[in-house]
Amino acid sequence: MKKIPFIASFLLVVFFSCKDNHQKTTEKATSTEEKQPPLAPQKLCFQAYEDNHNDIVELALNFKGDAVTGIYNWFPAEKDKREGKILGNKAGKTIKGDYTFMQEGKQQKQPVVIKLTDSSATITTNPDMEGEVKLKVKKTYCR
C-alpha cells in the first residue's frame, strides 16, 4: 500500500518533467529559426562579344527573393555606349522590369524581358514594340 503513493508521485514527476522538457525544446527550435539570417542575394553574370569582338555586352543580375536588380551595358565599337540599370521581378526563369540607361547624353527608360537558361540569357528591350532589340549573352563568372 505504501508503494502506490510513491509510484503515483514518481509518475507525476516524470510526466511533468517530460512536458517541461518538450516545451523548452520547442522554445529552442523557435528561437533558432528566428535567428537564421535572411537568404543572401544571388548574383549571375553574362557577357557577349559581337562584330569580331569589337562590341561588348555585359549583364550582371542580383536576386533577392523575386526582386531583381542589375546592370546592363552595351559598348559598341563605333557608336555611343549604353550603360544602365535593371529593376524588375523574376517569375520562373523570366525577368520583367525596366531598363534605365544613358545614351548620347540622354537618360532613357525601356521595358525589358530577360529569359534565363542554365548557360545564357536572352535580353529583349522594348518587347513586342517598335524598336524591339534582342541579344543573347553567355553566362560567365562574376568579377
How do residues 36-67 score in pLDDT, each as one tens digit? Answer: 555 556 999 999 987 676 889 999 999 999 99
Q: Helix (H, G, I), strand (E, B), or coil: what is residue 71?
A: strand
For 112-136, the DSSP string reads: EEEEE-SSEEEEEESTTSTT-EEEE
pLDDT value at 24 more than 70: no
- Whether the pLDDT of residue 11 is over 50: the answer is no
> What would the pLDDT profile of 85-133 be if each residue is shown by its tens digit?
999 999 999 999 999 999 888 999 999 999 999 999 999 999 999 989 9
With beta carbons less than 8 A apart as the criterion, state whether 57 and 71 touch.
Answer: no
pTM of structure: 0.70
| Residue 4, pLDDT above cutoff 50 | yes
d(CA 130, CA 121): 22
At residue 55, φ and ψ (nearest 5 deg) are -100, 135
